[in-house]
A and B are shown apart, each in its own frame.
Chain A
Amino acid sequence: MKQALKKVLPMVAFLTACAATAPVQADTLANMERERALLIETMLDGEISPAERHLRLERGQRRLLDLERMVLRDDKLVGRNTPKVRQAFANYDLTFLVHASVEKNRSMADTWLGQLGISTQNLMSAKQGRR
């Protein structure tokens, strides 16, 4: 047993060192989606004041704008046929929130909720009851 451990442990240590020193690839899409998630969380946060929300959204919008541009300009994503990339580029308005909202002259919250099918009319006509 001891001898087996003597053989296995150095190998495990070596592999761990290799994994630790392996180059970390910057995933622009994951960074953008993380920032968008934080921005949406800010939009939906009911515990902050409107002024604070506006300020946070403005700062978040600038960061998200840069990240959206990084994704759109990232040649490594072109043709990378993974589920995450396919889903991202399937809906431009949902993925690239800042650019889509400015194009349509709407706020980010309106654009995002509109993509999810949540509008003022839908909410006003919603009824509570069993499905």
Chain B
Amino acid sequence: MPSIGSSLALALAIAAPSLAAGKGADLPDWQPVASEKLIKLPANYLKKSLDHDFAQSALALAIQDLDSEIGLKGQTLDDLRTAIDQADGELQVELRHQFLAQKRKFITLMKRKVDLRQRHMETKQRALERLLVKLGQAKGAMTPARVQLVAQQHQARERFKGSLAKVDLTVLTTPTVPESKYAQEYSANMSAMASLGAAIRQHPMNNQPQMAGRPANKADFIRQMLADTQASIAILEQEQNIFGYMAKLVALDAMALSEQVMDAELTDSDVLRTAGPAAAVKYFLN
């Protein structure tokens, strides 16, 4: 019987999944752009736009391919397990060897998938952070002076609305000066804008996103997406730990199998059994 024990252990040990391998090595990419267009989109549509952009990227395709491979590998593992239960002797040992090798490959595939998903989440996190920065730039930093200015402008508009009717009555009814073109066209445009504004407000795509049952602005919604992404990254890091344990188990199973094989070899082999000196004393006694 060929001695496969030592070679088995050596092969599995050397070929153990290298969990410390560099993540960035030849991983497909996704490069979303935090453009002005994304900032102007409604919050719900922003999320869908990012997801759609990712779905069309090389990274998403790679994850999909890996999912298929993992599914097939899982089936292989099931088939091997069934075959091991039905086999015995050398065939069973060989099948167990194959089972360990396939488990190693399975872990490698799962690890690669988690690396890709981690790249996805990290890229999404950076994109959301860039969006938040751009949103802040678009709105401008609300310094105390700016806050005061906005308050004064709001008060001015309220005061203007309050005096609008009186001013129209007093100034615009003067017969000597005709009504200006601005005044005529403004009132015509206002009614059109009012009806269009009402249609926009009632449009289903214009519904403000809700968070905890309350309407949320775009910055809050993006922050929530960022928090969810960071939580996903934490879960993925935990999954990396799981693969470490799986790899350790595979290594231990390989060692157990090689030990078992070696024990079987020793039992069958013609190992010389040497007797102790007590049995040879009779040759030295007269």
Contacts and interface: CB of A to CB of B under 8 A. Distances in A.
Contacts of A99: 159-160, 163, 167
Contacts of B155: 92
Interface string B129-151: 00000000001100101100110
Q: How would you classify the secondary structure of chain A's contact residues: helix, strand, loop or mixed?
A: helix
Q: How would you classify the secondary structure of chain B's contact residues: helix, strand, loop or mixed?
A: helix
A103 B171 contact: no
A58 B152 contact: no
A80 B145 CA distance: 11
B166 A85 contact: no
Contacts of A77: 153
Contacts of B176: 55, 58
Given A58-B177, A99-B163, A103-B166, A79 B152 contact: no
User: Size range of the interface on B?
Assistant: 20 to 34
Nearest to B152: A89
B138 to A, nearest CB: 11
Given A58-B176, A99-B160, A102-B163, A89 B153 contact: yes
Given A66-B183, A81-B146, A86-B149, A61 B171 contact: yes
B153 A62 contact: no
Given A81-B140, A89-B149, A90-B152, A98 B167 contact: yes
A58 B183 CA distance: 16
Contacts of B140: 79, 81
